[in-house]
Amino acid sequence: MRFIIHELPYERPLLAGRLRYERDGAPTGAVESWRLTAAAEGYRFLRVDLDAREAPSGRSFLFHVVLNAIGRPEQLKFRFWGDGHEASGSAVWDKDGVVATRRVAGAAYEDTAHGRAFWFPAGAGLALLAGWAGETSGMTMLADPADPARLMALVETPVVIAWGEAQLEEVAGELLPVRPLAVAWSDQRRTVWLDGEARPIRLAAHNGLTATAERLVRYQN
């Protein structure tokens, strides 16, 4: 797993997992690894490596999210490589909204947004919406490199977030209650299945892309 910021000695590992992606039932070569650690004063760090270097797209995303004591994002760092483009940047939350800065191919951009529910393009990013069912004011990031000037831009969008019914499922040898969270925005549709700790178990997109957890870890501290 690759990192933007490596774990520091004072961090305490909490949860980790890995999702393997398929399209129409065939492996794509993409793998998403994530780790959640505890820091001081109730803060947590979420690190995500969405590695599609072996997939047809060849893209890579890295995310580093600082979550406060109630699980809301306060800071974000990100990097993207793919399709001949590189992008990196950061975002900071305050009482007036979110300000994001990014660099794409050497050019600097700034975005502002005032949505409430935030997610980024990854299974672990969708899992951030576990506490936002019913919210309609959203923010996400544009992951399409077709328009380099908008690559990884932070944008506001109406969103529909709704829980489905929970079912018991065997996951990595453990029987867990798993519940689907449906997320719809713009022309996009995703469903992510989460366990009681909001770990992503499965993911399905409207375009045939799916992902399944092949590794789940709960650290004993």
Tens of pLDDT, residue by residue over 41-72, are: 999 999 999 999 988 888 999 999 999 999 99
Q: Supply the pTM of this predicted model.
A: 0.95
Name the nearest CA neighbour of 196 among 221, 163, 220, 173.
163
Residue whose entry in the numeric block shows the structure tokens 């900071």: 92
* Average pLDDT of the residues of the chain: 95
Q: For residues 126-152, give the mean pLDDT.
A: 95
d(CA 184, CA 190): 6
Quote the pLDDT of residue 95. Answer: 86
Domain ranges of the chain: 12-218
Mean pLDDT for 136-142 is: 98
Kindly write down the DSSP assignment for every residue of 25-86, as one continuous string.
TEEEEEEEEEEEEE-GGG-EEEEEEEE-TTSTT--EEEEEEEE-TTS-EEEEEEEEEETTEE
Structure tokens that stand for 6 in this block: 């490596």
Residue 207's Cβ-side half-sphere holds a number of Cα atoms within 13 Å equal to 4
Quote the longest CA-to-CA distance of the chain: 49
Compute the distance between CA of residue 142 and CA of residue 4 in angstroms, rounded to an integer: 19
Alpha-carbon distance of 216 to 173, in angstroms, equals 10
